[in-house]
């Protein structure tokens, strides 16, 4: 019977770190939680058996080094970033299990933190090839305290998949809202129907988070952008409507699969 | 005091035509309504003082000729298509007022028709320069029976604006869903968060409707696609994160304007 970690340190108290804090207070009230704002003295993490890095990706990668003096031999480290290969690379030599909780709909920042942000959602872990099962188990307990269910994935596969199903959608929506907003004029934007409003919810996402995500997954994101650009060029040069028909049919079929898939 | 039309003929009984039919039955039960499925004998429209063309755009344009033998000298014709310049061109010589009701969220086809589909929404009219005010008034009464409020717009301005706020979003979302679905694989799609699901509601739109829309607004749609492709290329070639930061900031500002605008 695995009691899970008894002392958890969280570095970063935004939407993700803050929500983990709230979930632990609710679901695991007997464990000790130390939560640090970015920039606070990392000495406070000493004695933790699990450290959760919940800052933007590049800062998490820097923190891997900065926390080292404060880690014991049995301290496990995990993170919550949206890319996994770069941080796995940087974490060599640590007892590290990469993590990526898939949050539900929320705004950005601590204001939107909720104990149930991860309830019923996936929490992907990307252990290395030689990661002990016990370390994976410790992070799994944390995810389950947050109400999530764990799925294991190879870090490189993770990044390739999320380039297509998460990073590309974010860039496409931001580019679309930028173009529609910049070129249509003030009153014109008011003429948009529900379609544009629904399609562009992601356009409010914080650039400082996404800059790091894209920077640490550049190859896969470039390839995904090329595929999207290619499809748009085909529709632009589509004299007969053939490309539109083909791409709409493919999109409708994928949309059905997406909506039928469990969350 | 204008009583509006007393005999309305609707050609096309899909989502739009069907919803107008339901709204009239509810809000103007004393008027006579003749609703024809596409392909039915157009002679049935004889005697109507308002004819509403509610088929896909290119079919509406063909119908302008086909209905002519059945129009009286005072019959006003309107349509409900998403592009306006092409049909205005084709309607010369008729008492025609172009119309474009902006429906709320709905599926495609008659199954989704609702009496309140246009309630509280805009219904754009694009009269010609010499259209009599009385003709505009007749179509306005129809729109108001459907619960919509009328806005007048030049047909060419309409098409330029809707290329950006409606046609481009549709093509971008279909291309995005096509790419994400085709290249990520069956299980991978299930890993998508709420972001992709929300962003791609439009991916279920019917290609037969959109083929006509794009075909009758090719120049403006091409320009809009070029702007989107340009933004995506900038983000793909963005070594420093400068383009991402700039485009995200522009998108977030436009998104706030969009969400603050009245529906």
- pLDDT-derived band at B1, boundaries 50, 70, 90: very low
- pLDDT-derived band at A258, boundaries 50, 70, 90: very high
Look at B235 and A251 and tell me if their CB atoms are within 8 Å.
no
> What DSSP letter does each residue of B200-231 carry, written as one string?
TGGGGS-HHHHHHHHHTSHHHHHHHHHHHHHH
Selected for mutation to probe chain A from B106, B255, B257, B260 (highest A CB count within 10 Å) is: B255
Q: How far is A220 from chain B (nearest CA, A)?
A: 11
For the stretch A12-33, pLDDT in tens is 999 999 999 999 999 999 999 9
Count of Cβ atoms closer than 10 Å to residue A217 Cβ: 24
A117 phi, psi to nearest 5 deg: -60, -30
Name every chain A residue with its beta carbon within 8 A of the beta carbon of B259: 197
Whether the per-residue pLDDT at B82 is higher than 70: the answer is: yes
Whether the per-residue pLDDT at A3 is higher than 80: the answer is: no
Contacts 24+ apart (CB under 8 A), B34-37: B34/B7, B34/B8, B34/B9, B34/B10, B35/B9, B35/B10, B36/B9, B36/B10, B36/B11, B36/B12, B37/B12, B37/B13
Among chain B residues, CA nearest to A208: B245
The more confident residue out of A104 and A141 is: A141
Name every chain A residue with its beta carbon within 8 A of the beta carbon of B251: 173-178, 181, 200, 203
pTM (two decimals)? 0.93
Q: How far is A134 from chain B (nearest CA, A)?
A: 25
Q: What is the model's pLDDT at position A38?
A: 84
Percent of chain B with pLDDT over 90: 87
- pLDDT-derived band at B113, boundaries 50, 70, 90: very high
Scanning A133-217, the segments in alpha helix (DSSP H) are: 133-145, 155-162, 168-184, 186-189, 194-199, 207-215
The single-letter DSSP state of residue A103 is -
Q: At what angle do helices B168-184 and B218-236 cross, to 10 degrees?
A: 50
Whether the per-residue pLDDT at A194 is higher than 90: the answer is: no
Q: Which of B124, B201, B222 shows the shortest C-beta gap to A199?
A: B201
Name every chain A residue with its beta carbon within 8 A of the beta carbon of B194: 104-105, 263
In chain A, DSSP assigns E strands to: 7-11, 32-36, 50-53, 76-79, 96-101, 122-126, 149-152
C-alpha distances out from residue B165 to A168, A174, B115, B254, Å: 20, 14, 25, 12
B63/B70 Cα distance (integer angstroms)? 11
Q: How far is A165 from chain B (nearest CA, A)?
A: 5
Whether the per-residue pLDDT at A186 is higher than 80: the answer is: no
Look at B104 and A193 and tell me if their CB atoms are within 8 Å.
yes
A45/A66 Cα distance (integer angstroms)? 11
Instruction: Give first-to-last CA distance, chain B, whole Å.
Output: 29
Name every chain A residue with its beta carbon within 8 A of the beta carbon of B181: 250-251, 253-255, 257-258
Look at B192 and A165 and tell me if their CB atoms are within 8 Å.
yes
Name every chain B residue with its beta carbon within 8 A of the beta carbon of A124: 191
Name every chain B residue with its beta carbon within 8 A of the beta carbon of A215: 241
3-state SS, residue B258: helix
Look at B164 and A174 and tell me if their CB atoms are within 8 Å.
no
Selected for mutation to probe chain A from B150, B165, B214 (highest A CB count within 10 Å) is: B165
Look at B193 and A103 and tell me if their CB atoms are within 8 Å.
yes
Name every chain A residue with its beta carbon within 8 A of the beta carbon of B248: 174, 205-207, 210
Q: What is the model's pLDDT at position B240?
A: 92
């Amino acid at each position: 019977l695995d009691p899970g970690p008894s002392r958890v340190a969280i570095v970063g108290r935004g939407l993700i770190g803050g929500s983990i804090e709230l979930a632990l207070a609710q679901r695991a009230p007997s464990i000790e939680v130390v939560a640090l704002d970015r920039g606070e003295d990392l000495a406070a993490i000493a004695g933790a058996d699990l450290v959760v890095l919940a800052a933007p990706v590049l800062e998490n990668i820097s923190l891997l080094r900065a926390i080292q003096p404060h880690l014991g031999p049995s301290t496990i480290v995990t993170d919550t970033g949206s890319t996994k290969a770069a941080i796995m690379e940087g974490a060599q030599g640590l007892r590290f299990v990469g993590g990526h909780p898939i949050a539900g709909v929320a705004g950005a920042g601590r204001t939107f933190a909720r104990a149930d942000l991860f309830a019923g959602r996936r929490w992907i872990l990307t252990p290395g090839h030689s990661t002990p099962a016990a370390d994976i188990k410790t992070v799994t307990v944390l995810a389950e305290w947050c109400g999530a269910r764990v799925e294991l994935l190879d870090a490189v596969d993770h990044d390739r998949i999320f380039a297509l199903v998460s990073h590309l959608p974010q860039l496409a929506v931001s580019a679309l809202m930028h173009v529609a907003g910049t070129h249509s004029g003030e009153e014109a934007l008011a003429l948009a129907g529900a379609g544009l409003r629904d399609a562009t919810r992601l356009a409010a996402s914080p650039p400082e988070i996404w800059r790091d995500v894209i920077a640490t997954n550049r190859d896969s994101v470039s390839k995904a952008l090329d595929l999207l650009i290619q499809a748009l060029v085909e529709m632009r040069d589509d004299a007969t409507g053939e490309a539109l028909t083909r791409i709409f049919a493919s999109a409708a079929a994928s949309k059905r699969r997406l909506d039928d898939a469990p969350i």
